Amino acid sequence: MESDFVNILQKLLNGLRTGAHVKVVPVEGKRILRISWLNVVHEPEVFRAIARLVKIHAAKMGYDADAVASVETSGAKYGLALANELGKPYFSIHKAKKLIFQQPVTAEGFSVTESKPVTLHLDKAVASQFRNVFLIDDVRRTSTTINTAADLLNECGAQVTACYVIIDLAFAGHPRPVRVPRDRYHPLFVISSVDDDGRCVVDEGLVPEFL
């Protein structure tokens, strides 16, 4: 079991470094990465390996949280995987207001990945049940979505204990989130550069550090 877990993480890292899992898509002057295991085909063992690594790291750092939250839709699958691994409740930060919200709150942001403004929505009646929350997202480019989500959680009385991001697109040149303490922001893979064939330089992040 331990070797399988490590092998999966090594496979993911190798796929980024060799470009085997990556296609570079130019969109309006930006370089968007199409990563097969991240946002195309989703394998259960990948979710388990990522959630297990985050659990190990959180325990090592002495973090504890009452719940796990993520921004729908792409981040939700990783949030759910971590919540299942930790045995903690999970709730979503939504991109559309739901009729079932009892105390709706909103915050404005902009998604570079989707190239459009994003309004995030949360039910304060739900989020306010939890004091400390792990915030999970799949990709960071500009940090706007993470900052907006953290502001929304704070407005509901929930503090971000730690923020975990699967892929940090550091090569895009945008600052890391300012609404999360710097020492509480933990990307798993930090891509500092990528060539036209998808070969990524990944020397930082929880995965290369763990391996």
Tens of pLDDT, residues 76-91: 899 999 999 999 999 9
Note the maximum CA span of the chain: 48
Please give the share of the chain, as a percent, with pLDDT higher than 90. Answer: 75
* Nearest-angstrom CA–CA distance, 191 and 117: 25
Cα gap 84→200, rounded to integer Å:
30
**Residue 108 neighbours by CB distance under 10 Å:** 11
Q: Which residues contact 203 (CB under 8 A, 6 or more apart)?
A: 190, 192
* pLDDT confidence band for 115 (50 / 70 / 90): low
Task: Find tokens 């509901």 and name the residue.
Answer: 156
Q: Would you say the C-alpha torsion 28, 31, 36, 38 has a positive or negative sign?
A: negative
Q: Mean pLDDT throughout 12-22?
A: 97
Mean residue pLDDT across the chain: 91
CA distances to 35, 43, 112, 123, 202 from 10, in Å: 15, 15, 29, 38, 12
Average pLDDT over residues 59-83: 93
User: Using an 8 Å Cβ cutoff, are 25 and 34 in contact?
Assistant: yes
pLDDT band of residue 114 (cuts 50, 70, 90) is: low
**Looking at residue 175, what DSSP letter applies?**
P
Q: Where are the alpha helices (DSSP H) in 19-43?
A: 36-39
